Structures are given as structure tokens and as C-alpha cells.
Amino acid sequence: MLDQEPDIRSLPTPDIGSHGESEGAQTNGHATVHSIVRAPEPEQVIAVGDHRAGIVRRSLVIADALSLTLAYLLAAAVAGMVTTEPTFAFLATLPLWIGLASLYGLYERDVKRVDHTTADDFASIFHLVTVGSVAFFGGTALFGMEHIEIGAIGLFWVTAVILMAALRAGTRAWFRRRYSFRENVVIIGAGYVGQLVARKLRQHPEYGLTPVGFVDADPKDRWNDLEDLELLGELDDLPDLVSRYGAKRVIVAFSQDSMADILEVTRLVKDLDIQVDIVPRLFEILGPGVELHMVEGLPLVGVRPPSLSRTALAVKRAMDVVVSVAALTLLSPVLIFIALRIRFARKGGGPVLYRHERIGKGGRPFRLYKFRTMHKEFCRGPGFGGEEAEAKFRELMDDPKYRQQMETAYKLTDDPRVTPFGNFLRRWSLDELPQLLNVVKGDISLVGPRPITTDELGRYGTHTAALLNVRPGVTGYWQINGRSNVSYEERVRLDMAYVGSWSVKLDLTILAKTLRILTSNHGAV
């Protein structure tokens, strides 16, 4: 798709939410970018980010040391051993804990990965604390120090994992609100891919990356929301531009320049201590599970086939049932309140749940549950609004704006059929909670591709067979990688990237990031 550079001024962007479309056919409108960070004028640009890597690294080291110390002191206090020999031994081993964390890569990922969050660290934190606890407490027993009760050791382990994750999240949140965290970015390539990169960076100011412009000898027309980003020059100008704009990062995104020229200039820029990121060819088929390996020094990107073992499927299903039942139990007061509010609303009331037909694993249709968010007379489908609902839908489709949304993303951003309380439920994705019942029934999984309608199957093209080989999900990979700013085509690509890269770790990461997204307006913590 991206070997040809389409002349696209504006891409459609779907609405924020999990995977749920509203009652009836809904779509999304043209691109609307929130929290845009404007590139400063050349004479106003200052070199920011010069010490970003070092400051973030040192701050995370301090956060980890403080977390481990507080966790140990709490455990020691419970065991009545705060001033005993093991406490001094633990404090003396803090540099070893930090060294072990460094071996796990816990201090380098923020620089290497622009979208890195604490959720991505969690597996490493879990493993680090487990290995470190066994080594330390086993060592104290081996050297005959005062014995620490197993309960206190367990308390240390749990507290250390929680505190490390919490303080790391707080540290990142604090830094990402500061201007000194930001880095100016020059993008090589002003075609489809280069502008897609710029749009994503602008839509996520929490990454701390400000695009200042493009470098390209043959640029495409700028998209509507990127018209203020200038063409800075051509490839030969790159070293001077990096210095002039104080850029600390260059992203190579399919420039029309020759590969030899790009290689020469990027090598030169890299020698200037500038981070270089490269958008790989065929990135449409690459997912989070790709691996970089070498054949006699030649780097290869490995893409594994989308297959799941019986054991993996059993683990995924067990996790679905356990988490869903627990969530339904804990959230039962919320579910009851929402149900009563919908059922006995002053205007209309009516059915609590809306059931919409979707396509599941193997092409089997099923009814997806949602809290009803529309006025009941406007809900389409059996048992709801009937001809009145269909007439209202046709009326909406006569409006070019709504018709465009229908044809692009199957979701309306400002649907007039939705009740005020329904808008609240959608804003916080609370209307999706009944889908946990679908998970328990086995219709869908907690994590997976978006549940689609029969009409949408054709939009997946050659991916259809792979899509129908897995259960859809309540949340998914596309949701944590764009939220409201993902075109339908990008959603398809991200869904298929998930299908080809599934793992338990990836599912846990997606769940953690979904919770973060749902409890914040935007950002990566």
C-alpha cells in the first residue's frame, strides 16, 4: 500500500472507545487532532532534550531505590527487624538491585521507544523483584543472618512490585508535563508515511517529541492538519537543519531521495549524537511480536505465523473467564446503578441492554451486549424503534457529514440519537461493560480484534480468514495505539498485527494500557 504515495489531505479518525459502535450503524468523521503542539519558528527554537536521557534515567534509578527501600522497611517493621543486620545488608545491596534492573533494560527504554509506558515495564519489574528477592533472602539465610518470616518476604515482594510501578509512573508523568522533556524531531520524507508519523507525534504530546518539519526533495501536499509544518529543505541540508532547529531525533519515513543518499546523510547525523528512527518497509505486516535477528551481520526482521497452540488458547481462555467474573463481581454495584438509571430514565426509559449482531470466531454471528445509550425509539434492530428508527437513520444519512462518517469508520462522533447519560457512558466506555458477559459466554475475548459487522468483513480483504481465526475482543491493539485518531485502514492493520503477534504478555500489556487510557484524557504513564 505504501510503495505508492497517495495524495491524501485528510484521513478519517474513529471515535474514542473500546470496540463498541453505538446502536445502529455509526461512523466517524474527518480528522480532528487534539492537543496539537505547534512547531516553533526557527528563530525561537531552542535545543531541548539535550539531557533528557540522563535525567530520566537518574530519576528512575532514584524511584526504584526508594521503592525497594520503602518496601523492605515495611516488611522489616512487620517482622520487628528494622534495625537488625539484614536491614543494613539490604541497603548495602541496593546498587546490585539497580544493576540488575539495568540488565533488565529498565533504564534505556524511555529513550529507545517513544511510546514506552510503565505498563511495558511491568513484566520486567515482576521478574526483577522475584529474582532479587530469592537472591537476597536466600543469601541472608545462607550466611546465617537473622531469619525473616515468609510472610514478611511476601509482603516485601508485593509492595516492591506495586511501589516500583507506581513511582515509575509518577516519575514519567511528572517529566512529560515539563518542556525540558521535549525533543525536536526532523522527519525525512513528506509523503504519506512521513505525514502519518507527524500526525501521530502531534496527537500524542506525552511522547515528548515535537515535529519541526520535513526534509524531502519531492514532497506531497500537506494534509489539512499539518499545513503549518514546513518543508525545511532537502536531504543535503539535514546536518545544518538538525543544528539550526536543535533537533535530537531524526525519523526516516520513506523519502523520495535515493537510498544511498539517505544512508550517507543518516550516518553523518548519527555521528552527531542524534537518535535516528527508521520506519521499515512493509511495516503494515509488522506487529509487536516481531524480532530482529542476524544472519552473518545482516539484520532480518522476523514475522512469525499467526498460530496459537492449544496450551496458549487454554491460558487465554482461563484468563478471560477469571478476570471477567472478578470484574463483574467487583463492578456489580456500578452495573446495577447504570441499569436502573437507563430503565427508569425520566424521558423514555426502556430496555437496559442493546444487542447488536457481530461476527465471531469462525464467522459465527453472535449478539454483542452493550448498555443502551440511545433513545429507545432511535435504536435499530428487532424489538426496538422499528420504522421510526430506520427513518431517523435515513435522515442522518442524507446529511453528507454523517454519510461520510458511515462510509469511513462505521461510527458517529456526535450522534444526535444518543441520550445525555448515554454520552457520559460512552465517554468513559462504561457502555461496554456488559461485554464481559460475552467474554464469559465465549463469544469474545478480553483482548482481540474489534468485533465487526457482516458489512465490514469486506474491508479486511485478504485478512478476513486470519481475522475469523480468533475471537474478537473487548479491547485491542488498535485502541492503545491511537484511540480517536486511527483511520479505519489503520485499525485493520493494527488488528492484524495483533493476530500475528499474540502472547500472554501482550494481552496483559494491552489490558494495562486500556485501563490507563480509560482513566485519563490522554497520555502515556
For the stretch 477-495, pLDDT in tens is 988 886 556 778 888 888 9
Tell me: the pLDDT tens digits for 55-80? 888 999 999 999 999 999 999 888 77
* Distance separating alpha carbons of residues 413 and 441, to the nearest angstrom: 30
How does residue 347 score in pLDDT terms, banded at 50, 70 and 90? confident
Check pLDDT > 80 for residue 104.
yes
Distant-in-sequence, close-in-space partners of 382: CB < 8 Å, separation ≥ 6: none
Check pLDDT > 50 for residue 27.
no
Tell me: the pLDDT tens digits for 240-258? 999 899 898 999 998 777 7
Q: What burial class does residue 45 get, using C-beta atoms within 10 Å of its C-beta: 0-12 exposed, 13-18 middle, 19+ buried? A: middle
Higher pLDDT, 404 or 509: 509
Instruction: Write down the residue that cell numbers 536531504 correspond to.
Output: 235
* Distance separating alpha carbons of residues 455 and 388, to the nearest angstrom: 22
Tell me: the pLDDT tens digits for 259-310? 888 888 888 887 788 888 989 888 877 888 788 888 888 888 887 776 677 8
- Write down the pTM of the prediction: 0.72
**Which residue, among 468, 463, 433, 423, has the nearest Cα to 448 in the 3D structure?**
468
- Can you give the residue ranges of every domain in the chain? 42-47+182-279, 52-176, 310-518
Higher pLDDT, 315 or 303: 315
* Distance separating alpha carbons of residues 258 and 217, to the nearest angstrom: 10
Higher pLDDT, 284 or 313: 313
Question: What nine digits make up the cell of 238?
Answer: 539535514
Residue 131 identity: V
Residue 248, H or E segment: strand 247-252
* Distance separating alpha carbons of residues 236 and 262, to the nearest angstrom: 9
* Distance separating alpha carbons of residues 367 and 453, to the nearest angstrom: 11
Tell me: the pLDDT tens digits for 421-472? 999 998 888 999 999 999 999 999 999 999 999 988 888 888 898 899 999 9
Check pLDDT > 70 for residue 1.
no
Averaged pLDDT score across all residues of the chain:
82
Higher pLDDT, 460 or 404: 460
Specify the CATH class of 42-47+182-279 in words: alpha beta
The fraction of the chain above a pLDDT of 90, given in percent, is 36
Write b or e for each residue in 67-94: b if 16 or more Cβ atoms lie within 10 A of its Cβ, otherwise e. Answer: bbbebbbbbbeebebeeeebbeebeebb
* Distance separating alpha carbons of residues 475 and 118, to the nearest angstrom: 19
Tell me: the pLDDT tens digits for 143-199? 777 667 788 889 999 999 999 999 999 998 888 777 567 889 999 999 989 999 999
